Amino acid sequence: MSQPSSNLPENDLSAFFLAQGEQTGESVAHLLAEFIAGATQSLDIAVYDMRLSESLKEILASALRERAKAGVEIRIAYDADKPETPMLSQGQDPAPGGTGQFVQSLGYPWRRIGGLKLMHHKYIVRDANSPRASVWTGSTNWTTDSWTLQENNIVQLYSPEVAGYYASDFQQLWVKSNIGNSGSFDTRTVHLTYQGEPARVRLLFSPGRGPAIDYEVAQHVAQARERVRICSMLLNSSALVSALNDLLNTDQAPVSGIYDHTQMAGVLYQWQSVRHNQWKISAVENIVEEADLTGKNSRPYAPDTPHDFMHNKVLVVDDTVITGSYNFSHSAELNAENILMIESRALADQYSAYIDHLLKKYEVNGTNGRTPLQPVPVAPDEE
């Protein structure tokens, strides 16, 4: 696990990566605590899921208590607790409960963010109105399994402008206590640095800009000339699936990478009963075969089993890294999500090296394209 500093210069960014069995939950908790410790004014936390072991809870709670004693204002927004027997056909989340109970036990102002779809963010806005404002975001939920069993990434951005956009999204959620049309504002490209070199950052939020996200991601892929690296639990978006197939048909740029075989097989099974999605079954099967994608064989989803999904939501397209909480799916357009599109050769190379590492790791235990992706009746996790 590469460790970024929580004290980078203004207008800089950093990233690090998780992989199953390659870091302890305590190491991630302490990294999170270090970021929290840098707050001097405020911490606005938007988290989909917060279910941690007792030892990890204490590391987080202690970091928050220390900042609260120093006068830092803390607010926490989380995805509204779901019914014990969710109606999956209506998009209700099967995730187990416990987040609300823990958040409320911390004793800081909180909001349950409701709506048919998910409040799926995993971000912190630190000192939003300060010249040292910064953001923690990425694909990583705040759960023990996420920190120890899953492949994930975290991005830290040190920029008042970036923090201002996240603060606007947080305020929309906070005021309405509902996903609503949060993220319905325009953003400009922000100029940061990575390893001393320029990094251009584009960020968007759904549901307010959900269709725009889907379009921009597909356009990036359609225009690729050097590489498309996939590191994503799911490949559901119709626009993205079409763009990837077109790319493979024209040999315009090589496509490679890793996905979660178990989760994707469950999605294909669901598509069989939805007429307008049936074309995507063969399209995704073709992408997996033609690009020789490696599939992680995670455990089928159940509330009481270890959740060891390949949980990243990453595309590397030429020199651009696309990542965040946003799964590449239609559901993500309707969820409360955030996505980053970071143009930086050095960062793209770092993510690409991480993908290569996962490919080597799962070539033995994964499918590596040799076991065809086919519909299997398993319950998929979040989409």
User: What pLDDT is attached to residue 83?
Assistant: 58
pLDDT mean by block of 10 residues, the chain; 383 residues? 53 94 97 97 97 97 98 96 56 68 96 93 97 97 97 97 98 97 97 96 98 97 98 96 97 96 93 95 96 93 85 98 96 96 98 97 66 68 55
> What is the per-residue pLDDT for 90?
47
pTM of the model: 0.93
Per-residue confidence (pLDDT) for residue 381, from 0 to 100: 61
Q: Which residue has the tokens 């992680």?
A: 296
Residue 350 has what pLDDT?
A: 97
Please report the pLDDT score of residue 196 as a whole number. Answer: 92
* pLDDT for the residue 367: 56
Q: The domain 12-365: what is its CATH number?
A: 3.30.870.10
Report the distance separating Cα 200 and Cα 86, nearest Å. Answer: 41
Return the pLDDT at 371.
Answer: 61
Q: Which residues pair with 112 in a beta bridge?
A: 78
The span from the CA of 233 to the CA of 380, in Å, is 10
Cβ atoms of 91 and 300 closer than 8 Å? no
Find the length of the chain. Answer: 383
* DSSP codes of every residue in 302-340: -TTS----B--EEEEETTEEEEES--SSHHHHHSBEEEE
- Residues 6 or more apart from 333 whose CB is under 8 A from it? 206, 207, 210, 211, 213, 214
Beta bridge partners of 12: 158, 193
The span from the CA of 234 to the CA of 315, in Å, is 11
Q: In angstroms, how far is CA 37 from the centroid of its own chain? A: 23
DSSP E strands, the chain: 12-18, 42-47, 50-51, 73-79, 110-113, 122-126, 134-138, 142-143, 152-158, 190-194, 197-206, 228-232, 255-260, 294-296, 313-317, 320-324, 337-343
Domain chopping of the chain, boundaries: 12-365
Closest among 122, 43, 116 to 80, alpha carbons compared: 116
Q: What is the pLDDT of residue 4?
A: 42
Q: What is the pLDDT of residue 229?
A: 98
